[in-house]
Amino acid sequence: MANWNSAKGGDEDVELILRKLFVGGVRPDTTDDQFKTYFTKFGEIEDFVLIKNKQTNQSKGFGFVTYRQQATVDECLSKKPHTINGKEVDVKRAVPKDQPQERCQKIFVGGLPETTESDLKEFFETYGTVTQCQFKRDQNTGRGRGFGFVSFDSSDTVDKLIIMKHIDFNGKTIECKKALDVKDKQGGGMMNGGHGPNPSVYAPQAGYPPPGYPAPPMPAYGAYPGYPAYGAPAAPQAAAAAPTAPGYAPPAAAYPAVPAYPGYPAAAPGYPAAAPGYPAPAAPAANPYYPQQAQAPGQYSQ
């Protein structure tokens, strides 16, 4: 059987990798015969392997198929969806480990000579259906910046181009890479043998920003306010207004004066005066039921 870890992509063993498929989502009870018989109907198989658990001898859920001809791989991919042993499986090109495993439909093309978007689109149409093509130019001079972007209607075409990696375009070698969006970078990339995301892909912290909220923009360099001069007092800050509960009016600036109740004596000596804003208590009124001699403040009858 072939060495499934020998191919590293790029210029090494490209022809072999282009004849290889990754198959995921296989049922655990799927046998080798079921696996091979299904893919044989698309063309002659050179090699295949269904990865199994050594203890249970059941499928781990994925495997690989290598065809004799590259055209057979294209034929198989064009016949999606695929169902093996009563379950739909995921079939795609076996992308090398050193390439991003996330699926996308857009590539970055570097090393481009001076060209036009129409010529670039016509060139890549030989690999698949092009939905959008961009050739970047300098805004001041109008000259090409040496790179562009090409979008396709299928991620399988993108996988094929990044496996090839280096392509001859008008006598110059250009380089193809996946152009991943933010949503693609957040993916785990576990479909191709569980290798995880490419280390060059930086995703935002999990759980931030919350769903439905955009990420906060990064301030421009120098946008932070300067510090006050040494010894200078900091600028005064206005006091924050107290929050008001929904449906309630804000509190008044000052409480209204409370009327004094008649019959209460004045404050005894040593007690503080009435609070600011409140009137002084009224003089005590005589009690008609218990006529007594007027007493000085602070004195009480026995």
pLDDT digits (tens, 9 = 90+) for 173-210: 999 999 987 665 555 443 444 334 443 333 344 444 44
**Closest Cα partner for 89 from 54, 62, 116, 53?**
62
What do you get for the CA distance between the two ends of the chain, in Å? 118
pLDDT in the model for residue 195: 39
Question: What length does the chain have?
Answer: 302
* CA atoms of 120 and 107, how far apart (whole Å): 13
| Residue 97 contacts residue 195 (beta carbons within 8 Å) | yes
pLDDT at 263 over 90: no
pLDDT at 87 over 90: yes
pLDDT in the model for residue 292: 54
- Cβ neighbours, 10 Å, residue 48: 20
| Residue 94 contacts residue 20 (beta carbons within 8 Å) | yes
pLDDT in tens, 222-262: 444 444 444 445 555 555 555 666 666 666 655 555 555 55
Q: How confident is the model at residue 2 (pLDDT cuts 50, 70, 90)?
A: very low
pLDDT in the model for residue 218: 47
Residues 6+ apart with CB under 8 A from 282: 260, 261, 262, 263, 264
Averaged pLDDT score across all residues of the chain? 75
The residue with tokens 């199994």 is 52
pLDDT in the model for residue 161: 95
pLDDT in the model for residue 226: 44
pLDDT in the model for residue 297: 54
